[in-house]
Amino acid sequence: MASEDGGVSSGEAVTGPNSYVILVFTCISVYNVIELTFIIWGAFKRHSGLYFWCFMVATYGILIYAVGFVLKAFIPKETTYTYVTFIAVGWVSMVSGQSLVLWSRLHLIVRDKFRLKAVLWMIIVNAVLLHIPTIVMLYGANGSEPAKWVKPYEIYEKIEVTVFFVQEIIISSFYIVETLRLSKMQVVMRNKKRSRNLMYHLILVTL
């Protein structure tokens, strides 16, 4: 079934060259998690707060997601619902976790509480409407009757990815617009070159 459905449902264990490719990319993911952990713990003076914990959840979502795919690739029959759970939890942590990272950072430059609440509600509503159905269909596609779940999952997954992409663009746009506005104020009040460099740095980090 896996060969016909793009690997959505449970199939045979991966062997040969493909297994080495999976291991290489898994190692890269693990390395990135370790590196980000050191960066986060080194950069934050206080290991608490919404921004810090959203960063940690989004980072370790990568690890959980990678573990899920390793189980799916090498021992799919014995760990069907285990790897589905890892993939689902990892995906939610990475995607919505990253959106919350961006949202929590908006507080640094946005003072409009209405806009902050609107963005937060957008994240919550999208998470409920997109993650829950996708997870249900993912379990179904890896259950005893995968045929009726695979196609809906493939369609809904594309919708999910598109909506989350637009969501990230919206949040990042808020950040960039506010950064530009603050930069213009800094140009008038202080050092023009320093303000421009700060603006470029903040926009680059956001992108």
pLDDT at 188 over 70: no
pLDDT of 203 above 70: no
- Judging by beta carbons within 10 Å of its beta carbon (0-12, 13-18, 19+), is residue 167 exposed, middle or buried? buried
Contacts 24+ apart (CB under 8 A), 79-87: 80/10, 80/142, 80/143, 81/139, 81/142, 84/138, 84/139, 84/142, 87/138
pLDDT tens by residue, 153-169: 999 999 999 999 999 99
Lowest model confidence (mean pLDDT) among 71-75, 121-125, 134-138, 180-184:
180-184
Q: Rounded CA gap, 68 and 180, in Å?
A: 41
189, pLDDT greater than 60: no
- Long-range Cβ contact pairs of 177-183 (< 8 A, separation 24 or more): 178/106, 178/109, 178/110, 179/109, 179/203, 179/206, 182/109
